[in-house]
Amino acid sequence: MNIRVVIVDDEPLARLAVKVRLAQRGAFELVGEFGDGDSAYEGIMALKPDLVFVDVEMPGKSGLDMLAALPPAQRPMAILLTAYEGFALQAFELAALDYLLKPVDDERFDEALDRAQQAFPYRCQSRAAAPAAPAMRSFSVRVGSRTVLVPVADVERIEADGDYASLHANGKTWLVRERLHNLAMQLDPRQFHRVHRSSIVRLDMITELRSLTNRDAMLRLRDGSVLRASRSYMPALTEALQQLNTKTDS
């Protein structure tokens, strides 16, 4: 069953960019596109799409206003598109699936589509759907002729290394034959977060976040290592850290 998609953006070129990328993924079917919030509201109510790409800021009714106006039971999965970072909290209040900063690179776009495909089966079931698949608990690492199990709880950060990924845990580095993108889909998002196309960090390892002028950030970890966080990942990372701090304080 294809995932039926609507695009809402007041810029024709932005809509075209989404359409071109969607055309490369056979699991997605474009069923409508709209250039303003009012017509999008009417179109979504009529078409009942599974997924909507929504530009946050548009003349008249904004993308967020349009989503908020939809009855929750008829609100599709949403991927927000924006040139600004300040809408992360509202995005999560509306249970947006992802939050992409323009210009969106191909890898982040593909990640958002992967997330939609993962969520789609549960959306097709009742609201009391089956629980999500459990996150992985350990990594199987080949060391010569042995297989070593590295507990996920011991891993502090993961870095891309071509077709492999480097696990950093308790002062040791382990190499696993798995792309970083695949690992990100298997890890518990309440504990681990992708901060760059080449790195994943365990949230409770972050001790300092310093914003840079280009909207990226520098992260300092408990072990003293420093990583760069890309601006594309900052809204979701900031929200995840806020949730972690709230849970710690309670």
- pLDDT at position 68 is 86
For residue 70, pLDDT beyond 90: no
- pLDDT at position 88 is 59
Q: Report pLDDT digits (tens) over 139-180.
A: 889 888 889 999 999 999 999 998 899 999 999 999 998 888
d(CA 135, CA 117): 17
- pLDDT at position 187 is 83
Cβ atoms of 78 and 56 closer than 8 Å: no
The confidence band for 214, taking pLDDT boundaries of 50, 70 and 90, is confident
Q: What percent of the chain has pLDDT over 70?
A: 88
Please tell me whether residues 216 and 181 are part of one structural domain: yes
- pLDDT at position 129 is 43
**Which CATH number do you get for residue 149?**
2.40.50.1020
Segment 13-28 shows an average pLDDT of 93
Residue 22 lies in a domain: yes
Residue 132 lies in a domain: no
Number of domains in the chain: 2
Residue 55 lies in a domain: yes
Q: Report pLDDT digits (tens) over 116-134.
A: 888 887 676 533 444 445 5
Residue 61 lies in a domain: yes
Please tell me whether residues 244 and 172 are part of one structural domain: yes
Please tell me whether residues 86 and 150 are part of one structural domain: no
Helix (H, G, I), strand (E, B) or coil at 35: coil
- pLDDT at position 134 is 58
Residue 177 lies in a domain: yes
Domain end position, chosen among 56, 90, 124: 124
Segment 54-74 shows an average pLDDT of 87
- Buried-exposed string 137-148: b where 16+ CB fall within 10 A, e elsewhere: eebebeeeeeee
Domain end position, chosen among 77, 100, 124: 124
- pLDDT at position 135 is 64
Burial of 244 (0-12, 13-18, 19+ CB in 10 A): middle
Please tell me whether residues 11 and 113 are part of one structural domain: yes
- Buried-exposed string 58-69: b where 16+ CB fall within 10 A, e elsewhere: beebbbbebbee
Indicate the pTM of the whole model: 0.57
- pLDDT at position 90 is 65
Please tell me whether residues 160 and 100 are part of one structural domain: no
Neighbours of 94 (CB within 10 A): 19
Domain end position, chosen among 98, 124, 150: 124
The confidence band for 55, taking pLDDT boundaries of 50, 70 and 90, is very high
Domain, as residue range, for 193 = 138-249
Residue 17 lies in a domain: yes
**Which CATH number do you get for residue 35?**
3.40.50.2300
Please tell me whether residues 12 and 115 are part of one structural domain: yes
Residue 48 lies in a domain: yes
Segment 16-41 shows an average pLDDT of 93
Q: Which of 179, 148, 139 is nearest to 161 (CA)?
A: 179
Please tell me whether residues 116 and 142 are part of one structural domain: no
